[in-house]
Structure 1
Amino acid sequence: MASVPVLGAMAYGVYKKKQIENKNRNASEIFRFKSDVAPYASIPSDAPVIKIGIVGFGIRGAQLMQALGFATPGYVEDLIKQAKADSDNTRYRDFMEQEDLRVEITAVCDIFDVYGNDAIKAGANIHREGVNGKHGPEPKRYLNYKELLSAPDVDAVVIASPDHWHGTMAMDAIMAGKHVYLEKPMTWTVPETYKLRSIVKSNPQLVFQLGHQNRQIEAYERARQIIEKGLLGKVSLIETGTNRNDPNGAWVYPIHEQATSKNIDWKQFEGDTGRIKEYMDYMTSAGLLKYVGPEPREKFSLERFFRWRCWWDYSTGLSGDLLTHEYDAMNQILNLGIPSSASSSGGVYFFKDGRTVPDVLQTVFEYKDRDLTMLYSATLANQFNRSRKIMGHDATMEVGNTLTVTVDPRSEQYSDKIDKGIIKPGEPFYSYIPGQSVDAVSTATEKYFAERGLLFSFISGKRYNTTFLHLKEWLDCIRNGKQPSCGIDQGFEEAITAHMGTRAYLEGRTMYWNKEKEEITRG
């Protein structure tokens, strides 16, 4: 008798699987696809080694190095402990089985000494060992990123600095002759968006990749084909958003216990006098000076250093940090481009901690030439799951770590199949489940990324870290002289779209995109 609940659950699981299989069998005559993504191509053993410099070893910088195959011995040790404690936790095995990308970390730069030293340890851990393992030669640590860019033994750089340094560092790297992988968002201000695009396009021999790892998600390619085939009918509304509900998800990151004004280069974090003036001039011209926080450039602050995303002085807010994930996913699937207008509202409604960026944001993007609206809705104080929805006249597609298509009761395209009982409107007609199960999701931040398929993707049934795949694509393009999936054109669309949403929020008015002049105008 004790086994009945277990057997019942198993039977229900088999029943649900059969339901999906039957529905997909009925849908097969409609939903026929090419292979989802290109077969996974291993790197040849004789491929040239690419020498990489890492700029920024905070939260995302460490994740990017892990995706390249490098981690601190302490991190590896922690993965080993997790695997021993939970046999279903496969992170250690996944990391050890991750393909060698044939790269060498020759240089690292972080303005916090503890992070800088950790980056050295990670770069030297060429065998992915724990604390008692054998490590390789240490990369050189630079105290200033410009010195790293001048190093002759650096072919390419991975930039994971705070938002207010993204565009500047990327421009300096391209001008120094380095290939660039830049963490999103692409830029902090509108003017540098144009400058970076110009510099990248003037150096076509260098490969620029923006860090939107959703470009590697298998389900998104399937979604793109569904749109391409017109299977949803005329799409008129997209709904997407962000729901997170813990301090970490709201950027209230822990302050490192060893951090002091003596081991952090605060002046370099803030920026030199010329760059500060450029920022202040931009804020003044845009009428946004009131949004600059109190004494942002003069007073050392551990809170601002570790939680910089909470202030416009360094951050791009929800628009640049999380909306860009949602926008780039939809741009990948629907080829949206830059919207014709953007309107935003929201505010600091929950985290009354002195931040200036909102924790609740609603942004509406209009695409007048396509008779289409995209709605982005976000809260950092509620974790209720809301899927991305692409709504067509004939069907609605929900996109995340799985894919579901539900036919509309009023569909004209499928009316005959509805009448014959082949399709039951209001119920999922087609489901695509690539088989992922994400282990050890422990925070609202990870839950958000897992639900959106941003942690893992599947190729031919095998699970891969999406950041690993995105970096591998960049490295493949460097070796083969090709352009990546999220290059400067896609980055420009992302940046301008996000800036329109931000400006609309800050100015309290609709922002418009003049396509002919390529400029943002006020309503």
Structure 2
Amino acid sequence: MIRRDFIRQAGALTGGLLLQSQMLAAFTEIAPSDSVFNVGVIGCGDRGKGIMHTLKELDGKFRVTAICDPLDFRLKEAEAEAAPFKPAAYKDYRKVLDDKSVSAVVIAVPLNLHYQIAADALRAGKHVYLEKTMTYNTAQAIELVAVSKKYPKLTLQVGHQYRYTPLYFRVKQIIDDGYLGKVTQIDCRWDRNWNWKRAVPDPSLERKVNWRMYKEYSGGLPAELLSHQIDFINWAFNTQPDEVLGAGGVDFYKDGREVFDNVQAVLRYSREGMIGNFGATCANAHDGYMFRLKGSKGMISLLMNEGFYYPEKETRKELDLVDGVTGATKIQMSKDGGIPLLKEPLKDGTWYALNDFYKSIREGGLPASNVFTGAKTAICVDMANQAMYQNSIQTWKPSYNLS
């Protein structure tokens, strides 16, 4: 970036980046409308109940009229969460799809069920909000894209909510505007010191409640956690990895689980000249959520709801020069030299995502996280898992290009 361009753009960095119109629209509340959509929530575990709670915060855009879960205690919890709505309760998701008054469904079930229920919902004429990761494996991702193409007037949105938050839009704009320079390294972690298990009211329900622990149902840590960061890199750089390497093991919790509690994946983006390191452990929480993008001009460090830009030495000199020339307020930096990316408080990412779901249903068009982007990330996650379980290098195939 030549100096005059850097000076011209610096006001955006120091005073708050000017958001492009499509970015702004993606996380601005839609004006009140007479359109209220009846929603059925399929899957009433922690995530399903959390989405129900957020649906009630959206100023009458959605009404929960049906809930579904095969477990009685979850249905009871969901009925309490749905208040003041009084939804019909079902154990079979097909009963929700048969209800002609239901316009849209939220699907928050174990990963191995995502494809079948989403495909059946589209065939039943329902708009779909499908939790991440979109599908259990690559074959299902390809097939769900094919099914979705048959119903172009129906919205299928995938729950990678970072595509909707102001903070992550800002990071994408910083990348597009060249403030990072040439990005070569991406370091991501999502660590915890917890066994990742839920309490089970009856031992016979172990696999149904703790499905995340078992390969039959789950994509493990890459699907449940790291998929968010992998998806953001796909979006921010309009890319996907050429090669994926991985390692993992059940290294700490010897409790009968099948999915790894300690994983590391390395994704090589040859076109961009980038290496992405994506790791998670269940045995140490010090780093927690960590997301760093390292470029020749600076680095971005992200937490859940805040981020900082760390200019390189020469870039810092240019920023200081810009302040002197323009007379702008001195850049405020943190103790370790970072420039805050966003000052205004943020809502939960699901709030922004569900607003976009409403907009997509009402106005048409693809949501920011759609069947094509969801498929790309699901394939990346599957590649990472295959690399880990098979001790192999997985390569991106032409058949994975679905848009």
What TM bracket, shorter-length normalisation? Answer: 0.7 to 0.9
Deviations 1:154-182 (A, max 9, x none): 11110011111011111111111110000
Corresponding position of 2:351? 468
**Following the alignment from structure 1 to structure 2, what is the Cα–Cα distance between the partners of residues 149 and 421?**
59
**Following the alignment from structure 2 to structure 1, what is the Cα–Cα distance between the partners of residues 319 and 286?**
34
**Following the alignment from structure 1 to structure 2, what is the Cα–Cα distance between the partners of residues 326 and 101?**
31
Corresponding position of 1:431? 340
Q: Quick one: which of 108, 111, 126 aligns to 2:67?
A: 108
**Following the alignment from structure 2 to structure 1, what is the Cα–Cα distance between the partners of residues 377 and 383?**
10
Deviations 1:80-125 (A, max 9, x none): xxxxxxxxxxxxxxxxxx34233222221110012123333443x2
State TM-score, norm by structure 1: 0.68
1:191 aligns with 2:74: no
Written as runs of structure 1 = structure 2, the 5 A alignment for 1:275-354 is 301-335=204-238, 337-354=239-256
**Following the alignment from structure 2 to structure 1, what is the Cα–Cα distance between the partners of residues 291 and 29?**
30
Written as runs of structure 1 = structure 2, the 5 A alignment for 1:174-323 is 174-247=122-195, 251-256=196-201, 259=202, 301-323=204-226
**Following the alignment from structure 2 to structure 1, what is the Cα–Cα distance between the partners of residues 319 and 62?**
54
> 1:419 Cα shift?
9.6
> 1:469 Cα shift?
2.0
SS at match of 2:283: coil
Q: Quick one: which of 143, 153, 162 aligns to 2:110?
A: 162
Written as runs of structure 1 = structure 2, the 5 A alignment for 1:357-368 is 357-368=259-270
1:493 aligns with 2:355: no
CA contact (8 A) 2:10 2:322 kept: no
CA contact (8 A) 2:111 2:136 kept: yes
Corresponding position of 2:6? none
Aligned residues: 378
Q: Quick one: which of 49, 54, 65 aligns to 1:62?
A: 49
SS at match of 1:41: coil
Corresponding position of 1:51? 38
**Aligned-residue identity in percent:** 31
Where relative contact order (Cα < 8 A, 6+ residues apart) is larger, the structure is 2
Look up the equivalent residue of 1:341 and give its one-letter code.
Answer: E
Look up the equivalent residue of 1:105 and give its one-letter code.
Answer: V
Look up the equivalent residue of 1:432 and give its one-letter code.
Answer: L
Corresponding position of 1:372? 274
Corresponding position of 1:34? 18
Mind listing any 5+ residue stretches in structure 1 that lack a counterpart? 1-25, 70-97, 127-135, 261-300, 437-456, 458-463
Specify whether residues 396 and 148 from structure 1 end up closer, same or farther in structure 2 by C-alpha distance, changes over 3 A only: same
Deviations 1:254-298 (A, max 9, x none): 113xx47xxxxxxxxxxxxxxxxxxxxxxxxxxxxxxxxxxxxxx
CA contact (8 A) 1:242 1:380 kept: no
SS at match of 1:240: strand
> 1:54 Cα shift?
1.1
Specify whether residues 64 and 407 from structure 1 end up closer, same or farther in structure 2 by C-alpha distance, changes over 3 A only: same
Structure of greater Rg: 1
Deviations 1:427-465 (A, max 9, x none): 5252224354xxxxxxxxxxxxxxxxxxxx2xxxxxx23
Specify whether residues 63 and 30 from structure 1 end up closer, same or farther in structure 2 by C-alpha distance, changes over 3 A only: closer
1:385 aligns with 2:259: no
Compute the RMSD of aligned alpha carbons. 2.5
CA contact (8 A) 2:165 2:352 kept: no
Specify whether residues 420 and 120 from structure 1 end up closer, same or farther in structure 2 by C-alpha distance, changes over 3 A only: closer
